[in-house]
Chain A
Amino acid sequence: MLASLFVDTLRFIGDNADLLFQKTVETAELAFTALGISILIALPLGLWLGHRHRGLFVALGVSSLGRALPSVAIIGFMIAILGVGFWSNTIALVVLGIPPTLTNTYFAVEGVDRDVVEAARGMGLTEFQILGRVELPLGLPFVLAGIRVSAVFVIATATIAGLFGGGGLGDIMADFSFYGLPGTLAAALCVSTLALLGAGALTLARNSAAHRMAPSE
């Protein structure tokens, strides 16, 4: 029975490749838009707080609150307030995407050796240059690790948003009676692949950043 379900799922993928591709693109669009916005908010904020060595409480509080908020509930609140639509889902995803990037960026910059920063200051670099040329490059692997966690969260939640009219692969998963088990399994495989590819790309980016910054002993 399991074997036949497997065959049915593969057949569904073969027969509905176009639909699955289109829905995967929809989920990816929603997820990456939200991820982009959350990085635009979290990265500068984390860099600034980390550079000033201030806001430890904010960085820690945001990260534990972010973990505690159930994604379904945030999507629900946004829909209740703004109605079903692109913005309600995007805002919900942005809210969930901010904490990991913010916290990691904060600790990445905060943890840069203070002697190195002092040396840069002594060489006459402005605070902005120190941040951009010293602290960010040194902390980059850890920043990218944070963005990776954000990406995983956001892709997972983008799928859930699809259950409530957000479009994408969640559409298929929500319509069990129409697509059947093979259809929902196929959609689940697509979104898993999307998440693994996204996470994999960010792992490569982090590794190459870590490699470049590794002290050549």
Chain B
Amino acid sequence: MLGLTRKTKVSTGASLPVLAGLAAAAVFLLIGCLSSDTFAQQTVAGLSQGAIYGSLALALVLIYRATEVINFAQGEMAMATTYIAYQLTLWHVTYWLAFFLTIVIAFVLGVVVYGVLIRPVQHRSVIALVIVTVGMFILIDGLVTWKWGADLKFMAAPFGNQVYHAGGVAFSRQDLGVLLISILSVILLWVLFQFTKLGLAMRAAALRPAAAALVGVRVDWMLAVGWGLAAVLGAVAGLMTEPYVFLQPSMMQAILLYSFAAAVLGGLESPAGAVIGGLALGVFLNLFGQYAPRDIGSSELRLPVAFALLLVILLFKPTGLFGRKQVRRV
């Protein structure tokens, strides 16, 4: 492993300054929304975009917690499972049935990927692990393009197209649906980790594999479950994204970038942080694009601005907003 880190002391990431900052931001947004329709609309749009970033970021965080690797292929796995759902609908399976079937398939795929590709290299070389995920990125992209082609395809909208209006602000059922599902995912994950034996075993396997094995936790299986769950989250993210960007092999690539930023922003070990990071990023980018002076707010700089924001926050809090402080002992 590069560098010898023994995390013996951990403190909770949700420190007071961070929470206070977030509360202040929420108040600011509320005031803005009440005073300007455009502000409110941009915020709502930002929230729904951010929910997508957050849901993919959740998958990234889950894998990072389990195996300490950044899965570069997360977006492509999400995309591939979305195509599987698409194929199911082509075979006349109804949308929601296809959704649940896809989730099951995604879980199995995640477990298999872990067992076949990740486990062999996990302890040998960090860089090899990174490269394996990069190889997966390329392989999956190639497979999907080969099987389905790279032209745009379209699926039925999961939540319908109805649009609601509150005051001067419009939001669609789709936007609401995405937001709800992201929040639901975080809650379910939290419940899993805090209140179930499985969750406890998974946390133990990730944090102290040797000790966990000694008390009977099947460490490898727990890590595999972690990957399976992450694949499920990715599938959900992909299916939620499809109505916005439609089906194309490259559909998740731009989103993956923003999701990386969101995951790191929130702290790579915090599921809630990932979603909050995503939402914050989405809202920030929209408002920035709307109100910043023409020159810096221009669209070419959207991605660089996202990463500039990330870098600034990391400079002050190198482990992200909700990241735990890691004390390294020699």
> Do A and B come from the same complex?
no
Interface residues of B (CB under 8 A from A): none
